[in-house]
Structures are given as C-alpha cells and as structure tokens.
C-alpha cells in the first residue's frame, strides 16, 4: 500500500496537479511516525512512510498548507476525512488547494502497548499475518497484532471516506461502534465515584498542551489559554487537579465540532482518557438534539449554533442517571 501511495504521489507531482505532498516520515525513533511535507519524488522515495504505526491525523496541518502557493496532496485515512471536512466547513482549510486521496484506515498499532509488554530497544515492528514481529537491540520478539491496537482504533466509528478526490484501496462503511460504552459506565457511577475517577485522571495532567496542539478542532489563531485578555490564560496551578478547568473549557470549545478522531488521548503523555470528555458531549448531543457527526458534511449547522424551540431544559441533567 505504501508503494502505491508513493507511486501515485510521484505521478501527481510530475503532472503538476500538486507541488507538495502531506505524508509521514520516521522521527527520532524509527517507530515514531511523524507528519511531514515532501516536495520531490526523491524525498518521497527516501522518507515517505505509511505503515501500521502511522496514526497521526494530518488534517490540522492543511490549514496552513492550503494557504500556501500551489496545491498540496493529502493522504487521509477515513477518520482524518471527517476532521478535514469539518475544517473545510469552518473555512479553515481551503478545499481547492488540497488534492485528497483517501487511503485505508486502521486498526493501527500503538507502540506504547508494545512497550507496555516490557519490550524495549525497539528497532522495527512488522505485521506478519496478524502477529507482530518486533526487532529490538536485544533480539526479536513477537506478540499478537490485536493486543497492540491503538486506543483510537478500538472503537472505530467509520471506514468511510467522507471526502476525497480519489481513493487508494476500497471505501468502507460507517460502522456500528460501541464507543460510548465507557461514557455510559461513568454515567452510571455515583457523583462521588465520577469525581474520584476524574480527579485521579486529571491530576496526572502536566499541562503540556499536547492534546490541544494535536487536536484538529483546536485551531484558533490565538488560543484563549494563550491570550492574556481572555482571563483564563496559563497560570501555575496550586493543585494539579485544577487543570480540570482547562479540560472542561477545551472540551466545550470543541463540542459539536469534535469528530471523535481520538488524537487527544493518543498523544497524551500521561494517558489521560481525554476523548471521554469529548464523547460525553457527542453522546449528549446525539441523545438530546438528534444524531450528529461532526465533519460528515460541510453544510449542516453545528448543534451548538443551532436550536429547536422544543429543546429539553437543562434540568434534564438533574432528572437522569445517578447523582
């Protein structure tokens, strides 16, 4: 598949359709697959990577890239196309300046899950018939593919590309997922248990801002957390749990716009399940205001910028579930 991508990218560069390619290359460690822009066929041949470890959603990079001279080729997994569409809808990405090739999605491999098996000194990871062959400086290790599936792929919502100019591989369908399982589990806890859960999780936050920086919905020119005029800009926290404000506001700012791509939890160095906050909003929106999938199209009104005269009252929060 990687070869097909390189081949097609080179063709599009050669015929002048695009002058750059948004893809991935290896980072400091070979398993660290990082978004990268390629300008020549030689660069593509030498560095382009798209393998089982390639998880990063590149749509956010296209905000800036689509504003540059000439067209750029973007290779988008199904989940990335939702983020891309959402950014087109919000006038952030200039659609005409991007040539989109839909590529197959996951399930992708999370290197952290391999490391968790106390496998270290990793040199490369290969999938051989759903068994991972891991070359390390200490020798070769194996583990079942499914044990290393990335968290963000565990409850895949869709194999369908909602936007593309052409496809490599086949298009899939929107899937039936049970992605709200954990949200429901939390909803069924008592308030004290929920509080304890989140206090545990959010006290781990080191406020590195990785979640915000990777999030394709967090694309503000100037984030409120960096803006002294907003009144909520960064300050040292006396208690690390105080970072809950940051996470609530961030989740609220992306509510109705978050496509549930899962990047926030993927990049969190403290493994905080941040996507649960976003999923809570998505679940509420779906149940209170009708099914809505951000990024599924570029024309529908965002649920928070819309209303119905017979919407429920906030007291519904008091009436349902466990206190």
How near is the Cβ of 100 to other proteins at its closest, in Å?
21
Q: Which stretch binds other proteins (CB under 8 A): 98-106, 113-121, 170-178, 280-288?
A: 280-288
Q: Which of residues 141-200 bind other proteins (CB under 8 A)?
A: 183, 186-187, 191-199
Q: Which of 170, 178, 231, 299 binds other proteins (CB under 8 A)?
A: 231
How near is the Cβ of 161 to other proteins at its closest, in Å?
23
Alpha carbons 6 and 151: distance in angstroms, whole number: 28
Neighbours of 144 (CB within 10 A): 10
Pick between residue 170 and residue 318 the one whose CB is nearest to other proteins. Answer: 318
Q: Which of 43, 51, 135, 284 binds other proteins (CB under 8 A)?
A: 284
Cα dihedral sign for 172, 174, 177, 183?
A: positive
Q: Which of 5, 18, 73, 277 binds other proteins (CB under 8 A)?
A: 277
Using CB under 8 A, count the residues that bind other proteins: 68
Q: Which of 43, 51, 154, 242 binds other proteins (CB under 8 A)?
A: 242
Q: Which of 143, 182, 210, 224 binds other proteins (CB under 8 A)?
A: 224
Burial class, 107, CB count within 10 angstroms (exposed 0-12 / middle 13-18 / buried 19+): middle
Binding of residue 297 to other proteins (CB under 8 A)? no
How near is the Cβ of 256 to other proteins at its closest, in Å?
8
Binding of residue 69 to other proteins (CB under 8 A)? no
Binding site for other proteins (CB under 8 A): 67, 90-92, 183, 186-187, 191-199, 219-224, 227, 229-232, 235, 237-239, 242, 244-245, 248-249, 251-255, 257, 277, 280-281, 284-285, 288-289, 301-309, 311-318, 321, 323
């Amino acid at each position: 598949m990687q070869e097909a991508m390189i081949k097609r990218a080179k063709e599009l560069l050669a015929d002048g359709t695009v002058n750059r390619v948004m893809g991935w290359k290896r980072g400091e460690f070979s398993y660290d697959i990082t978004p990268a822009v390629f300008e020549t066929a030689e660069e593509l041949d030498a560095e382009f990577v798209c393998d089982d470890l390639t998880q990063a959603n590149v749509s956010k990079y296209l905000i800036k890239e689509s504003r540059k001279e000439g067209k750029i080729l973007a290779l988008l997994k199904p989940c990335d196309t939702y983020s891309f569409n959402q950014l087109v809808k919000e006038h952030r990405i200039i659609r005409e300046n991007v040539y989109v090739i839909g590529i197959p999605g996951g399930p992708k491999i999370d290197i952290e899950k391999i490391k968790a098996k106390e496998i270290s000194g990793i040199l490369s990871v290969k999938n051989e018939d759903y068994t991972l062959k891991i070359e390390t400086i200490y020798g070769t290790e194996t583990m079942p593919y499914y044990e290393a599936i990335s968290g963000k792929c565990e409850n895949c919502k869709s194999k369908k590309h909602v936007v593309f100019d052409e496809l490599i591989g086949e298009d899939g369908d929107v899937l039936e997922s049970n992605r709200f399982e954990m949200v429901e589990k939390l909803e069924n806890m008592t308030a004290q248990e929920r509080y304890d859960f989140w206090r545990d999780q959010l006290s781990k936050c080191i406020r590195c801002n990785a979640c915000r920086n990777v999030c394709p919905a967090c694309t503000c020119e100037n984030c409120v957390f960096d803006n002294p005029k907003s009144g909520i800009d960064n300050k040292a926290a006396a208690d690390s749990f105080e970072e809950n404000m940051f996470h609530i506001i961030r989740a609220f700012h992306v509510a109705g716009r978050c496509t549930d791509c899962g990047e926030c939890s993927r990049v969190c160095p403290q493994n905080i399940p941040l996507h649960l906050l976003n999923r809570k909003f998505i679940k509420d929106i779906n149940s209170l205001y009708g099914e809505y999938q951000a990024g599924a199209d570029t024309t529908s009104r965002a649920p928070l910028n819309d209303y119905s005269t017979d919407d429920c009252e906030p007291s519904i929060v008091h009436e349902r579930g466990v206190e």
